[in-house]
Amino acid sequence: MKEYARGARTEGRVIGLVPTMGALHEGHTALVRRARQECSCVIASVFVNPKQFGPKEDYQKYPRDLEKDAKTLGDAGVDVLFAPEAADVYPDGFRTYVHVEGISERLEGRSRPGHFRGVSTVVLKLFEIVQPHFAYFGRKDAQQVRIISEMAHDLNLDAEIVVCPVIREADGLALSSRNTYLSAEERMAATVLHQALVAARDELSRGVRDAMQLQTAMRRILEAEPLANVDYAEIVSADKFEPVVRVARSSYAVLAVHIAKTRLIDNLLIEPASPGSDDFVFQL
Ligand code: AMP
């Protein structure tokens, strides 16, 4: 992979990297399409990274179908699929990790200790192997892409991090490889995440800026669904993912909710309509 990528760089090609864990869906192919528009060499990785799963999480049962993913990526115009084995990525004696302090401990990091250490480490390794000019991530995992951007900044990485919009089903559910775990009944219940974010957006549109009031609006929807169990539903700053009392700058409404045994996340981006403006726009 290193040799190929180095060759492509020497030829003057612009390299785009799309890191994934496979079980690909439209959310992933949207990243590939964006990379295809902006880069002359698109590399996608499929690697279920053991270091980002907790001991009681779904590493073993995470959906894997490399053959199908290879076809999907080929059809989407990817030049190279990089699908290493865990033993090659983490050979015996592997002891070096990247940790982005502070932000990695909050929200997802608090519920999933060590998760972001695993993410940052594997993404840095992928960047070192592929040396991409651009790397494409989804806003679906907003905290993750913020952490990766921090890492890229702190460690003077050359890769430019590109954040792409959330791709959703017709009923609003954000696409996720983990949606395949949901039964028909759970799949219907899972729409509460989107509904809760819509409720927050509606409050914001009415001029509500108080974080507690926005959280209450989200919780009211989530708690009305018997299959839903809220992990967190908060309003946080877009830079540090710290709780805010009032929405005054770029922020996120962030959710993590168990639908029966499946843990799902989603978010609403809240941004000033223009730099410094008191008007906000909202992106689901
Ligand atoms: P994963 O395979 O879940 O690790 O995701 C790989 C990349 O795809 C990450 O950058 C995710 O944020 C992105 N992604 C996953 N689901 C979506 C979605 N519904 N919309 C946009 N991006 C997504």
Q: Residue 132, class by beta-carbon neighbours within 10 Å (0-12 exposed, 13-18 middle, 19+ buried)? A: buried
DSSP 30-88: HHHHHHHHH-SEEEEEE---GGGS-TTSSTTTS---HHHHHHHHHHTT-SEEE---HHH
Q: What is the pLDDT of residue 19?
A: 98
Atom of ligand 1 minimally distant from the CA of 168? 19
Beta-carbon count within 10 A of 54 CB: 13
Q: What is the pLDDT of residue 276?
A: 84
Distance from residue 93's CA to the centre of ligand 1 (Å): 30
Q: pLDDT digit string (tens) for 193-210? A: 999 999 999 999 999 999
Protein residue closest via CA to atom 15 of ligand 1: 27
Which residues are part of the catalytic machinery?
Answer: 28
| Ligand 1 mutation target, pool 20, 148, 177, 255, most atoms within 8 A of CB | 20
| Ligand 1 mutation target, pool 137, 179, 254, most atoms within 8 A of CB | 137
Q: pLDDT digit string (tens) for 208-267? A: 999 999 999 999 999 999 999 999 999 999 999 999 999 999 999 999 999 999 999 999
176 lines ligand 1 (CB under 6 A): yes
Protein residue closest via CA to atom 12 of ligand 1: 138
- 262-272 β-sheet, strand order: 228-237, 251-259, 262-272, 280-283
Atom of ligand 1 minimally distant from the CA of 144? 12
Protein residue closest via CA to atom 18 of ligand 1: 27
Q: What is the pLDDT of residue 194?
A: 98
CA distance 85 to 153: 28
CA distance 174 to 183: 16
Read off the DSSP letter of residue 226. Answer: T
21 lines ligand 1 (CB under 6 A): yes
Q: What is the pLDDT of residue 217?
A: 98
CB 39 within 8 A of CB 12: no
Protein residue closest via CA to atom 11 of ligand 1: 138
Distance from residue 134's CA to the centre of ligand 1 (Å): 16
Q: One digit per residue, pLDDT tens: the chain, 284 residues?
A: 999 999 999 999 999 999 999 999 999 999 999 999 999 999 999 999 999 999 999 999 999 999 999 999 999 999 999 999 999 999 999 999 999 999 999 999 999 999 999 999 999 999 999 999 999 999 999 999 999 999 999 999 999 999 999 999 999 999 999 999 999 999 999 999 999 999 999 999 999 999 999 999 999 999 999 999 999 999 999 999 999 999 999 999 999 999 999 999 999 999 999 988 889 999 99
